[in-house]
Amino acid sequence: MTQHFLPKQQLQLLIDCLRAEGYGVIGPKVKDDAIVFEELADATELPYGIEEDSAPGRYQLKKARHKRAFAFNTGPQGLKPFLFAPEQELWRAEHTDDGLIFRQSFPAIRPLAFIGLRACDLAALALQDKHFAEGPYPDPSYQAKRQQLFIVAVNCSRSASTCFCVSTGDGPSAESGFDLCLDELDRGYLINVGSDKGQRIADKLGLEAASGAKRAVATRQHQRAVQQQERQMPDEKTLMTLVDKLDDQRWQDIAERCLACGNCTSVCPTCFCSKQESHSDIKGQASSQVRLWDSCFSEQHSYIVGKVIRNEISQRYRQWVLHKLANWQLQYGRSGCVGCGRCIAWCPVAIDLVEEARALCLGDKP
């Protein structure tokens, strides 16, 4: 694949080209002490010189000495909330003069281009695609949003302390699933093209070919990010042994710490569970059926015919780990964990999924 070079000050040109093609451009910004994805007005809004310090139960932004825009690794979101909305109306029922009418609801959808997604985000997207778009009951609004998506990925030049994508085989560099992919250097970006859509944009940028020296820097950055990762998720075969550990004492130990708050499943870019509620207007004339993010840590998630099946926190944590790490393999052909580390950083009580998985599968003493 030929690599091209885009000088740093021309990043705005990329944004302008995407906009000219009709895309709303979404990128990383600093908001409320975290990196979040929002509509970008221009390139100056990017988080230049910002990195995150993450640890179990902790996420803090800090100023770095460099002035790079993509030196952070992840924020709490990823792509998930944009494609699988936390709250979405599915259909409405209304009393009208012609009787009761049911109507399917469809969110307003416009083409979006995301800048700054990582290899783990793309791996998670592939899994969400399997669930929402490629299964026997596809979600039409997900499919529609997915089809018009343009992805500018960025390879990670460093790893946060919670990252472990190397051990899951999902990062730190993106190999496919993008339209364009950047390696950020001090003076600009190496660009790889991953699709025809991406080529069309690249053609408009008037790119020069990247020198061997620049490519060597990108390779060294990749190696550094690989070496920085300390956590290692056990391999998939080992993870399958979890299904034989339903009575392990460790589930009880975890339950003493776990709040069953659902923060881990909410930030997890691959979790897809939802519940539905019907919201009536005050007069009882119209009712809206709403789909909301749910979690296997919630009581109602296992409420079936008048009974909560998983009442204990130990059972709920076990459900999350067994589904995510083992049973996903039967369901989707691979583990549901892409190594992004979000569930570790955003767990309010600092429970570390990798540590727990290793303790359960390998007998590691944390």
Binding residues (CB under 6 A) for ligand SF4: these are 258-265, 267-273, 295-297, 319-320, 323-324, 337-343, 347-349, 351, 353
Name the minimum Å distance from CB 293 to another protein.
5
Q: From the list ligand SF4, another protein, none, which binds 109 (C-beta under 5 to 8 Å, kind-based)? A: none
Footprint (CB under 8 A) of another protein, residues 132-191: none
- Examine residue 60 and tell whether it contacts another protein (CB under 8 A): yes
Tell me how far apart the alpha carbons of residues 272 and 132 are, in angstroms, rounded to a whole number: 9
Name the nearest CA neighbour of 132 among 267, 302, 269: 269
Of the candidates 257, 331, 362, 366, which one interacts with another protein according to CB under 8 A? 257
Give the orientation angle of helix 250-257 with respect to helix 313-321, to 10 degrees.
110
Q: Considering beta carbons, is residue 309 or 349 the nearer one to another protein?
A: 349
Q: Which does 270 bind (CB under 5 to 8 A by kind): ligand SF4, another protein, none?
A: ligand SF4
CA-CA distances (angstroms) from residue 103 to 107, 283, 345?
13, 19, 41
Decide which of another protein, ligand SF4, none touches 323; Cβ closer than 5 to 8 Å per partner kind.
ligand SF4
Residue 311: which of another protein, ligand SF4, none does it interact with, CB under 5 to 8 A by kind?
another protein
306 belongs to the binding site for another protein (CB under 8 A): no
- Binding another protein (rule: CB under 8 A), the pick from 57, 111, 138, 169 is 57
Q: Other CB atoms closer than 10 Å to residue 355's CB: what's the count?
A: 15
In SS3 terms, 223-280 reads as HHHHHHCCCCCCCHHHHHHHHHCCCCCHHHHHHHHCCCCCHHHHHCCCCCCEEEEEEE
Residues within window 26-45 making contact with another protein, judged by CB under 8 A = 31-34, 36
CB atoms within 10 A of CB 187: 10
Would you count residue 252 as binding another protein (CB under 8 A)?
Answer: no
Interaction between residue 256 and another protein (CB under 8 A): yes
- The owner of tokens 């570390």 is 352
Cβ proximity of 71 and 159 under 8 Å: no
Identify what 98 binds: ligand SF4, another protein, none; CB under 5 to 8 Å per kind: none
The site partner of 296 among another protein, ligand SF4, none (C-beta below 5 to 8 Å per kind) is: ligand SF4
CA dist., res. 262 & res. 250, Å (int): 19
Query: Between 207 and 246, how does the x/- string for binding to another protein read (CB under 8 A)?
Result: ----------------------------------------
Binding of another protein at residue 334 (CB under 8 A)?
no
Q: Using CA atoms, how far apart are residues 44 and 177, in angstroms rounded to an integer? A: 27
Decide which of another protein, ligand SF4, none touches 58; Cβ closer than 5 to 8 Å per partner kind.
another protein
**Is-contact 345 162, C-beta < 8 A?**
yes
Q: Cβ of residue 182: shortest distance to ligand SF4, in angstroms?
A: 22
3-state secondary structure of 361: helix
Report d(CA 18, CA 125) in Å as an integer. Answer: 21
| Residues across the chain | 366
84 binds another protein (CB under 8 A): no
Torsion-angle region of 309 (φ positive above 0: left; ψ -120 to 50: alpha; else: beta): alpha
**Chosen from another protein, ligand SF4, none, partner binding at 159 (C-beta under 5 to 8 Å by type):** none
Residue 214 falls in which region: left (phi positive, over 0), alpha (psi -120 to 50) or beta: alpha
Q: Does 128 bind another protein (CB under 8 A)?
A: no
Q: How far is the CB of 19 from another protein (least distance, A)?
A: 24
Residue 10 φ/ψ, nearest 5 degrees:
-100, 10
- 295 forms part of the interface with another protein (CB under 8 A): yes
The yes or no reply on residue 93 touching another protein (CB under 8 A) is no
298 part of the interface to another protein, by CB under 8 A: yes
Q: Which residues bind another protein (CB under 8 A)?
A: 31-34, 36, 57-60, 76-77, 81, 86-87, 256-263, 266-267, 277, 280, 282-284, 292-295, 298-300, 311, 313, 345-346, 348-350
